[in-house]
Amino acid sequence: MTHQRQVLYEAMQKMHGHPSPEDVYLRVRRRIPSISLATVYKNIHLFIESGILREVSLHHGSLRVEMNAHAHHHLICVVCKSITDIDEAVLPLAAKPKHLPGGFRAERYAVDVLGRCQACQKEESAQKAS
């Protein structure tokens, strides 16, 4: 574990939600001013490959990651691109077959619920009212 990786890991543990590499870069740059965005991306991909991080759906337009290994799904606002965790028990998948058509082997299930968050709904209502 290099010093840069250690600082990246520590920074991401303290970050809530689903940060982008750019968010992580801005945080880590406070401690390592010489770090590059490319280094952050490279190490985030390394963390994903090793299972330390999980990649979140790309429905919001950019790479987002999380450390939450608990079984859960995501609510994604199509307007502001916010991502909120929702427990798997709230949105259970009835059947979770290990082997799917075409020889595809499922390793984990993730459901993305696309819609509008409460703040964006209020904004939209306010705009329509005016």
State pLDDT tens for residues 81-107.
888 888 888 877 656 777 778 888 777
Of 69, 90, 121, at which residue does a domain stop? 69
Clarify whether residues 94 and 57 are in a common domain.
no
Name the phi and psi angles at 119, rounded to 5: -65, -40
Residue whose token pair is 């459901």:
111
Of 47, 69, 91, at which residue does a domain stop? 69
Averaged pLDDT score across all residues of the chain: 86
Residues 6+ apart with CB under 8 A from 87: 70, 71, 72, 73
CATH of the domain at 107: 3.30.1490.190
Domains in the chain, number: 2
State pLDDT tens for residues 22-41.
999 999 999 999 999 999 99
pTM: 0.70
